[in-house]
Amino acid sequence: MAINKVMVIGAGQMGAGIAQVFAQSGFDVLLNDMNKEALEKGMINIEKLLTRAVDKERISESDKTETLNRLTPSSDLQDAQSRDFVIEAIVENMDVKTKVFGELDAIAPKHAILATNTSSLPITEIAAATNRPEQVIGMHFMNPVPVMKLVEIIRGLQTSDETYQTVEDMTNKLSKSPVEVNDSPGFAANRILMPMINEAIFSLHEGVASAEDIDTVMKLGMNHPMGPLTLADFIGLDTCLYIMEVLHEGYGDSKYRPCPLLRKYVKAGWLGKKSGRGFYQY
């Protein structure tokens, strides 16, 4: 199936990034958000990133103009009725996502594929909220979307081979690198990444080393571009905690137990870069 018209639901950092990448790759894109202020901010951020790319001579001024011409803001979910492909990038909450997917199922055309950018929630459960589970799939982009090449494509229990192949082909058109992953808690990326971050937090919690020294060990000793505690601050400590809870509940294994210090920071409102304080101050 050829996909030409795309809708991205959620104009936050991830949603805006996904919309930008699709528009830059030649797709007709609607960026949707019920919050008009968030929608306006998302569109402004896309234009800023494109302007920066022009200044750095990564794209031309005409590329920027054409990309923006392919992007249209939307604050009405009913706009999905004209789309071939819809991907949501909203809050990591199963009740909210299943509600949206149930609504999309009634609005989007029968041929449309419905995707979620969830970083940890079960695709199979989200798909069960629709009457087209074979056309529901996970498409987990990495942050920042315009820069990072990896996309985890996650099959739900009933995702069809045709749906998977269509999304894989589309991912290649975005100049991204698709990786096929089966539906399991945390998928591949976060099942590996989050326990590492959690262990770094335990090391800090138990006084093994300072935050700066833990990050230095991983940067200089393991050649990581960013230390795990700095990365946690950039991801958001509330997000890290939520994913660890999904892993802990999903596998029932104590090795996924969130560090008490992580819980304490989240309860204090120290969520990382977005709140001005996490393991570091911003």
Q: What are the beta bridge partners of residue 141?
A: 151
Instruction: Give the integer Cα–Cα distance in Å for 224 and 157.
Output: 34
From the list 117, 140, 198, 203, the catalytic residue is 140
* Given the residues 88, 152, 198, 203, the one annotated as active site: 152
Q: Which amino acid is at 67?
A: T
Whether 45 is catalytic: no
- Give me the helices (H) in the chain, please: 13-24, 36-55, 61-69, 94-107, 123-127, 161-173, 189-205, 211-216, 222, 228-235, 237-251, 260-268
Active site residue 66: no
224 catalytic per annotation: no
Phi, psi of 89 (to 5 degrees): -135, 60
Q: How many CB atoms within 10 Å of residue 215?
A: 23
140 is catalytic: yes
Catalytic residue selected from 119, 120, 198, 203: 119
Q: Which of 32, 74, 190, 198 is catalytic?
A: 190
- The tokens of 34 are what? 């019920």
Which two structure tokens, joined as six digits, stand for 190? 């976060």
- Which residues are annotated as catalytic? 119, 140, 152, 190
